[in-house]
A and B are shown apart, each in its own frame.
Chain A
Amino acid sequence: MKHYILILLAAVVLLPSCMNEPVSEPDTHEGNFQALWKIIDTRYCYLDYKQINWDSIYTVYHQQLSTATNEVKFFDLMGSMLGELKDGHVNLYSEFDISRYWKWFQDYPSNFSLSLLDSARYLGKNYRIAGGLHYNKIDNGKIGYIYYSSFSDAFSDNNMAYVLSSFSDCHALIIDVRDNGGGSLDYSKQLASYFFPTTTVTGYIRHKTGDGHSDFSSPVEIITPANATIQWPRPVAILTNRMSFSATNDFVNRMTQAPKAIIVGDRTGGGGALPLSSELPNGWLVRFSSSPMYNKAMENTEFGIAPTISVALSAADEAKGIDTIIERAIVALK
């Protein structure tokens, strides 16, 4: 019986010692730099696609570590390093700032004016709101118009049923997702489902499976289901600009496959990957593109989706209270 007790005690003492103690980088500028560089090196999905030499970026920024004499300077240096990725889905979050790359829309015309939308010609002042959907009839009541400003704003099938029934005498519909910076992919799928008579494969997604820059899983189908009870069988135009990003990019990608849909406006801003997050030893959060999404032809959507009809907002029209993109869509829907 002594053996039994010895075995019991040995198990208690020895088994935990057989387990590996996890190691992480120390909470120093060097350690945080190494941790951040490695997270991007092993988990960011577009290094090869964007032809970014991440090793040389290591060299360039590691040399500058000594210049980061305080937390703010160190943060700015790390933010600049992440800026090399030119990705709107990449951010570094600290207690005092959020690093961001916004050139994907700042370097382009906005093609959107909220004051134009508020005019009586379009949404006006007496538009209705169903969930996150703002709607009214335009073009003398012939076209239904929905402005959806964020895919984070919820709406239900019930909301949409009311919206579409109020447009029952309209021959076409416009869904304006300009300046919609994204949100939930569930709402993207839900909104698209009203325009698909049959369930359709509208894209693919992959995720990183290893540390190599091109180590990806097999593509998984992204399916847009046909909504069983609510359908809009008439033409629909989706209005886009460079600020149509992330989940909005996904919605536009889905709608390129919808049978009676056209995309009008500017190229979308992209953000074609699902972002995930990780942490540095100092507690800063880093968000990064992780799972690339593709269109039906397995083309990356990171750099946006081209419209069917490319139109810019004309300053002359704007001065006259006319939204060039909405007007072009009205013409195209006739």
Chain B
Amino acid sequence: MKKPFLIALAFLFSLVLLAQKTDESTYLLTTKSNTFGYSNLSLIDPYLSPLTYSGTGLQYEHESRRFLSVTNTNISMQHKLDFELGYLLNPAQTSNMVYMDVNYDFGMHYHFRPMKGLVLLAGGSWDVDFGYKEVFRNVNNPGNVDLSTNLNLSGVAMYDIPLRKRTLRLTLSVETPVFGWMYVPLAGASYYEMFELGNLSNISHISTIVNRRGINPKLTLDIPLRYSVWRVGLKYQRLQYSANDMIFDRKELSFLIGTTFDMIGFGGRKHPAPKNFISTNE
């Protein structure tokens, strides 16, 4: 009878020791989320057509956020990578467009905690966007490229909603471009003239809130389940930019679903995994 008792005591003791050891080391967790979206999409690209093309899109978004350091839990940095594919039709459904977009966004935010359960983030971000649109039946102007890089104002509000069994997290994030650079083709000129013959004049434009306006509010709800946290949300994106006597427009409403989780990364000489973490590298 004594033996099992001693073993149980030793086990509990070892747990206490482990807890103490863990408490002594502070690690930064990275909150990651992966979401898939189904979008209702509407595009105007006057280089390709004066008509509004509308259709559906599929998107994937990866987002990660962590604090700058263990000693600074007021400033966080965020990485976002979005992929999107869309298929659109003109209003008469006589022509189709394929749309592809990749966007990388790096942001930093200051965290305010005005009350329990509410965190407000304010900051900025830098993003690079590459998109391609193709209207297959067009003649000598079948495709157009979206290329831009922007500095954005960014804000996030996170509110915890405590329920009986779990706490939900409601997040509203917004970003708007303030200043940047964008490529816009010459209206009326073919890509043959621009890129084969080298007429690249006036395709490069500084963008400000005067000629490039956009906003992308995203409302998500994180729902903790037994072993995972699921995320559902809605995202609205509106972007309008103008140059070379053309106004480009994009509207998108997406339904998002995915998961979010916290993880820790070890690596390099200065940040090796502690011995109580088991790696496949060992």
Q: Which residues does A use to contact B, with CB under 8 Å?
A: 1, 4-5, 7-8, 11-12, 15-16, 18-20, 22, 24, 27, 35, 39, 43, 93, 95, 185-186, 205, 207-210, 217, 220-223, 274-279, 281-285, 287, 290-291
18 extra interface residue pairs, beta carbon distance < 8 Å, beyond A274-B190, A274-B193, A279-B51: A1-B115, A1-B118, A5-B120, A7-B155, A8-B172, A12-B172, A16-B215, A19-B213, A19-B238, A207-B186, A279-B50, A279-B90, A283-B51, A283-B90, A283-B92, A285-B138, A287-B139, A290-B188
Contact between chains at B91 and A205 (CB < 8 Å): no
B141 within 8 A of A: yes
- Please determine whether B137 and A5 come into contact, CB atoms closer than 8 angstroms: no
Report the bound CA distance from A16 to B213 in whole Å: 8
Q: Which residue of B lies closest to A38 (CB)?
A: B50
A-chain residues with CB within 8 Å of residue B95 when the two chains form the complex: 279, 283, 285
What number of B residues sit within 8 Å (CB to CB) of A?
48
The reply to whether A19 and B174 form a contact with Cβ atoms under 8 Å apart is: no
- Secondary structure type dominating chain A contacts: mixed
Whether a CB of chain A sits under 8 angstroms from the CB of B56 is: no
Q: Are A221 and B155 in contact (CB under 8 A)?
A: no
Pair B189/A207 contact, Cβ less than 8 Å: yes
A279 to chain B: closest CB distance in Å?
Answer: 5
CB distance B139 to A276 under 8 Å?
A: yes
Q: Interface SS of chain B: helix, strand, loop or mixed?
A: loop
Interface residue from A8, A217, A287 paired with B189 (Cβ < 8 Å): A217
| A17, closest chain B residue (CB) | B238
Report B83-115 CB contacts with A as 1/0, cut-off 8 Å.
000000011111100000000000000001011
User: Could you tell me which residues of chain B, from 189 to 215, have a CB within 8 Å of some CB in chain A?
Assistant: 189-190, 192-193, 196-199, 201, 213-215
B residues contacting A by CB (< 8 A) are: 44, 49-52, 90-95, 112, 114-115, 118, 120, 122, 137-141, 155, 157, 172, 174, 176, 186-190, 192-193, 196-199, 201, 213-215, 217, 238, 240, 245, 247, 249
The 9 lowest CB-CB distance pairs between A and B, nearest first, are A283-B92, A283-B94, A1-B114, A207-B189, A208-B188, A277-B139, A15-B215, A12-B217, A19-B240
Instruction: Evaluate contact between B174 and A8: CB separation under 8 angstroms.
Output: yes
- Which residue, of A93, A207, A281, has the highest number of chain B Cβ atoms within 10 A? A207
Picked from A11, A220, A283, the residue with its CB within 8 Å of the CB of B197 is A220
Query: Does A285 contact B91, Cβ atoms closer than 8 Å?
Result: no
Q: Could you tell me the distance between the alpha carbons of A279 and B52 in the complex, rounded to whole angstroms?
A: 11
With a cutoff of 8 Å between Cβ atoms, the chain A residues found around residue B213 in the complex are 15, 18-19
- Partner of B193 from A24, A186, A205, A275 at Cβ < 8 Å: A205
Please measure, in the bound complex, the distance between the C-alpha atom of A209 and the C-alpha atom of B138, giving whole angstroms: 20
- Between-chain CB contacts (< 8 Å), 9 pairs: A15-B176, A20-B247, A24-B50, A207-B193, A208-B188, A209-B186, A278-B50, A279-B51, A285-B95
CA distance A282 to B91 in the complex (A): 8
Tell me the minimal C-beta distance from B65 to chain A in angstroms.
Answer: 18
Docked pose: A35 CA to B49 CA in angstroms:
12
Q: Give the contacting residue for A217; candidates B139, B199, B214; CB below 8 A.
A: B199
Q: Could you say which residues of chain B place their CB within 8 Å of the CB of A16?
A: 215, 238
Contact A277 B138 (CB under 8 A): yes
Residues of chain B within 8 A of A285, CB atoms compared: 94-95, 137-139
User: Bound complex: CA of A287 vs CA of B155, how far in Å?
Assistant: 46
- Docked Cα-Cα span, A208 to B188, in Å, equals 6
Q: How far is the CA of A275 from the CA of B93 in the complex (A)?
A: 23
* A275 to B44 Cα, complex, angstroms: 21
User: CA–CA, A8 to B120, complex, Å?
Assistant: 10
